[in-house]
Amino acid sequence: MYDICIIGGGVAGLSAAITIGEHDTNTILIDKNPKLGKKIYATGNGKCNLTNTNMDISSKYHSSYEGYVSFINDIMGASPLTRVKEFMLSIGIPTYDRDGYIYPASRQASSVAWAMIDRANISGIDIRCNAECTDIKKLGDHFEIVLDDEVIRAKRVIIACGGKSYPSLGGSDKGYKLVTSLGDSLTDIRPALCGVITDDIPKTLSGVRVNTAARITNNKYDAVCEEYGELQITDYGLSGIMIFNLSSLIGRMLSNNEKPVISINFIPDISNEIIYDIYEKCPDRTITGLFNGFLNDKLVTYILQKACINGKAKVKDISKNDIDRVIDIMSDVRFTVKDIKSYDQAQVCAGGVRLSDINPDTCESKRIKNLYYAGEIMDVDGVCGGYNITYAILSGIKAGEACIYDKN
**How do residues 370-392 score in pLDDT, each as one tens digit?**
999 999 999 999 999 999 999 99
- Count Cα atoms within 13 angstroms, Cβ side, for 114: 8
Query: What separation in angstroms does the CA of 21 have from each of 75, 184, 227?
Result: 20, 28, 41
DSSP character for 186?
A: B
- With the C-alpha atoms ordered 149, 153, 154, 159, is the resulting torsion angle positive or negative? positive
Q: Is the pLDDT confidence value at 406 over 80? A: no
pLDDT tens track for 213-250: 999 987 665 657 889 999 999 999 999 999 999 999 99
Would you tell me the crossing angle of helices 320-330 and 297-306 to the nearest 10 degrees?
A: 110
pLDDT tens track for 173-202: 899 999 999 999 999 999 999 999 998 788
Q: What is the Cα–Cα distance from 73 to 314, expressed in whole angstroms?
A: 58
Domain map (residue ranges) of the chain: 2-191+347-405, 195-266+333-340, 272-330
pTM tops 0.85: yes
Q: Pick the closest to residue 211 from 233, 195, 196 (CA basis).
A: 233
Burial class (CB in 10 A: 0-12, 13-18, 19+), 356: middle
Q: Rounded mean pLDDT of 118-144?
A: 93
Give the per-residue pLDDT at 408: 44
DSSP character for 353?
A: B
User: Does 2-191+347-405 carry CATH code 3.50.50.60?
Assistant: yes
Given a contact cutoff of 8 angstroms between Cβ atoms, the answer to whether 142 and 154 are in contact is yes
Strands (E), 8-54: 27-30, 51-52
Percentage with pLDDT > 70 across the chain? 98
Looking at CATH, the fold of the domain delimited by 272-330 is given as: Helicase, Ruva Protein; domain 3 (1.10.8)
